[in-house]
């Protein structure tokens, strides 16, 4: 494999810089990918352009990538069907009756949005979309900044997913750890949770801000300015049946562990049932399980809507296609993000960053350095999952050779990946949060960044302390 060194950093850094400067994320990603393949093609522009086209097409060679794009479109269909049937309106009315008829309705709405994102821990993108769809009308009605909603949706999703690993995230991480025969993947993941400082601090800080109504940095400016804006979506929200939203989403969340077990089950069954179940979860396909769970939720939604005569067969398909169309831009962005991640792997971006930092790594500072390195890789590539794949292959040998604390070191990698993902303008979750809440993408990044840096800074300090305590 060719060692591209510093050149491997150019595509992701260029994509990030252009996304911030031009606010044209698709263009920025495309140009970053093209420049990367021109580098690989030794400066030949023609070959670089051909390689770029092939790289985008190659995204769909991965079944996992294809399933991710498919379930993104399917969740768009599910959300549109729930909206069409009155499920979203009913849920909003329920929230109004239960939460907003108090002295501080804005506080309760923010708390409910954060809690909803926290509870839908099946998959980060689904969590973000559900929060954005359900709470955007309430934020508009009570004249609250949509950038705040984007922050609540984005910062409650991935932290919850990484801390409650009976989902696609847990299956993926345990799958990476299973490459090392001497490790117990489930034990490693579970025991690392108390040391995963960034997600824990982020959730505490998020609910603190929602409860107190405090804000700082660019977010404060947006919240002050919106008071002077004229909103056009303040009409009373029509009534509906909240069960048409609650039960399909509940079916999706509750069926996820079953499908994880199903996709990872090994026949014939021998030995302890409990061990077999946990082994199946570790072997399961997260992307397959999520896709099956969404299809099951679509079936439940269609069944309930049909029984209540809320939809016809023709409208079921027309509304499903409409929902998919609304997610099309997001699907394109995800494809480009996958292509950039594959490019960075080809260039060895993550390995280069890791090698540069490991040359001067000391045991006491190792957790902090692993945290910061994972953050930078995730920020540069826009993917926490890609970061996990790169960094776990580095941290496991380091644990063995340097005698590092295994759970603390793994947590530093996982938390750093989520931290960098929250800061990156090319991250799929930040993109989805912007789309789901109808926020300007760069505005979402600008308002979320100070909050992420605050909790990330605290997490970094804790890793320094813990590194010397446990080494």
pLDDT digits (tens, 9 = 90+) for 32-62: 899 999 999 988 899 999 999 999 998 888 7
List the one residue out of 428, 441, 84 whose CA is nearest residue 244. Answer: 84
Contacts 24+ apart (CB under 8 A), 349-352: 349/8, 349/9, 349/11, 349/12, 349/377, 349/380, 349/381, 350/377, 350/381, 350/386, 350/387, 350/390, 350/391, 351/390, 351/394, 352/3, 352/4, 352/5, 352/6, 352/8, 352/9
Give pLDDT, residue 232. 44
Listed in sequence order, the residues at least 6 apart from 241 whose beta carbon sits closer than 8 Å to its beta carbon are 85, 86, 87, 90, 308, 310
Residue 24 sits at φ, ψ, to 5 deg, of -110, 90
- pLDDT tens string, the chain, 471 residues long: the values are 577 888 888 887 787 777 667 767 678 888 889 999 999 998 889 999 999 999 999 888 878 778 878 877 887 888 888 888 887 777 777 776 776 666 788 888 899 889 888 887 767 777 888 888 888 888 888 888 889 999 999 999 889 889 887 666 776 677 667 666 677 777 788 889 999 999 999 999 999 999 988 888 888 888 787 765 544 444 455 567 888 888 888 888 788 788 878 888 877 666 677 777 777 776 777 678 878 888 998 999 899 888 888 888 888 889 899 888 877 876 787 788 778 777 877 887 767 766 676 666 677 888 998 899 889 878 877 778 777 877 776 777 777 767 788 999 999 999 999 999 888 887 878 888 888 888 888 889 989 999 999 999 999 999 999 988 887
Say how far apart CA 398 and CA 391 lie, in whole Å. 10
Q: What value does the CA radius of gyration of the chain take, rounded to a whole number of Å?
A: 22
Can you give the pLDDT at residue 231?
47
DSSP H helical ranges for 59-196: 63-85, 87-95, 105-119, 124-141, 146-163, 168-177, 185-192
Q: What is the dihedral of CA 362, 368, 370, 375, to 10 degrees?
A: -150
pLDDT at 38: 92
Report the distance separating Cα 412 and Cα 395, nearest Å.
10
Rounded CA-CA distance 142/148 in Å is 13
Instruction: Provide the token pair at 144.
Output: 């609250």
Kindly state the tokens that stand for 466.
């813990």
Q: Which two tokens stand for residue 210?
A: 């929602």
Residue 11: what pLDDT? 85
List the structure tokens of 450: 């100070």
- In three-state secondary structure terms, 304 is helix
97 secondary structure, DSSP code: I
Task: Say if residues 269 and 276 touch (Cβ distance below 8 Å).
Answer: yes
Span 186-202, pLDDT tens digits: 778 888 999 999 999 99
Question: To 10 degrees, the CA torsion angle through 458, 464, 465, 470?
Answer: 130
How many other C-beta atoms are found inside a 10 Å radius of the C-beta of residue 335?
A: 21
Question: What does the chain come to in residues?
Answer: 471
Residue 285: φ, ψ to 5°? -90, 115
Determine contact, residues 429/124, Cβ cutoff 8 Å.
yes
Spans of all domains in the chain? 5-61, 63-469
Please give the Cα distance from 344 to 363 (Å, whole number): 28
Q: Which of 119, 118, 113, 117 is nearest to 142 (CA)?
A: 113
């Amino acid at each position: 494999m060719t060692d591209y060194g510093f050149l491997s950093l150019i595509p992701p850094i260029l994509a990030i810089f252009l996304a911030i400067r031009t606010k044209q994320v698709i263009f920025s990603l495309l140009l970053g990918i093209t420049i990367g393949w021109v580098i690989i093609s030794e400066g030949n522009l023609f070959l670089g352009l051909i390689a770029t086209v092939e790289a985008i097409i190659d995204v769909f060679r991965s079944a996992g990538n294809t399933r991710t794009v498919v379930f993104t479109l399917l969740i768009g269909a599910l959300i549109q069907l729930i909206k069409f049937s009155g499920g979203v309106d009913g849920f909003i009315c329920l929230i109004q009756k239960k939460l907003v008829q108090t002295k501080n309705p804005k506080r309760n709405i923010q708390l409910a949005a954060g809690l909803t994102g926290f509870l839908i821990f099946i998959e980060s993108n689904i969590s973000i979309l559900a929060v954005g769809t359900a709470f955007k009308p309430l934020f508009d009605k009570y004249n609250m900044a949509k950038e705040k909603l984007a922050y609540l949706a984005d910062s409650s999703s991935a932290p919850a997913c990484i801390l409650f690993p009976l989902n696609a995230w847990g299956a993926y991480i345990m799958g990476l750890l299973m490459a090392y025969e001497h490790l117990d993947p489930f034990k490693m993941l579970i025991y690392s949770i108390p040391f995963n400082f960034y997600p824990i601090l982020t959730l505490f800080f998020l609910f603190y801000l929602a409860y107190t109504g405090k804000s700082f940095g660019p977010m404060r400016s947006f919240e002050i300015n919106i008071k002077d804006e004229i909103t056009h979506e303040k009409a009373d929200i029509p009534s509906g049946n909240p069960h048409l939203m609650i039960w399909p989403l509940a079916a999706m969340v509750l069926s996820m562990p079953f499908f994880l077990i199903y996709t990872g089950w090994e026949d014939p069954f021998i030995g302890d049932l409990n061990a077999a179940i946990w082994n199946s979860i570790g072997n399961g396909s997260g992307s397959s399980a999520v896709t099956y769970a969404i299809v099951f939720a679509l079936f439940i939604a269609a069944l309930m809507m049909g029984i209540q005569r809320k939809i016809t067969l023709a409208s079921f398909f027309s509304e499903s296609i409409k929902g998919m169309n609304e997610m099309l831009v997001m699907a394109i962005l995800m494809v480009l993000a996958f292509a950039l991640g594959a490019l960075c792997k080809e260039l060895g971006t993550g390995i280069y960053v890791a090698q540069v930092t490991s040359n001067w790594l000391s045991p006491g500072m190792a957790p902090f350095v692993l945290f910061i390195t994972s953050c930078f890789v995730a920020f540069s590539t826009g993917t926490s999952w890609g970061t996990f794949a790169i960094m776990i292959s580095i941290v496991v040998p380091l644990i063995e050779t340097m005698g590092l604390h295994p759970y603390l070191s793994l947590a530093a990698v996982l938390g750093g990946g989520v931290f960098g993902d929250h800061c990156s303008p090319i991250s799929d979750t930040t993109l989805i949060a912007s789309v789901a809440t109808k926020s300007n993408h760069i505005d979402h990044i600008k308002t979320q960044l100070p909050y992420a840096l605050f909790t990330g800074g605290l997490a970094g300090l804790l890793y320094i302390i813990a590194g010397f305590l446990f080494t």
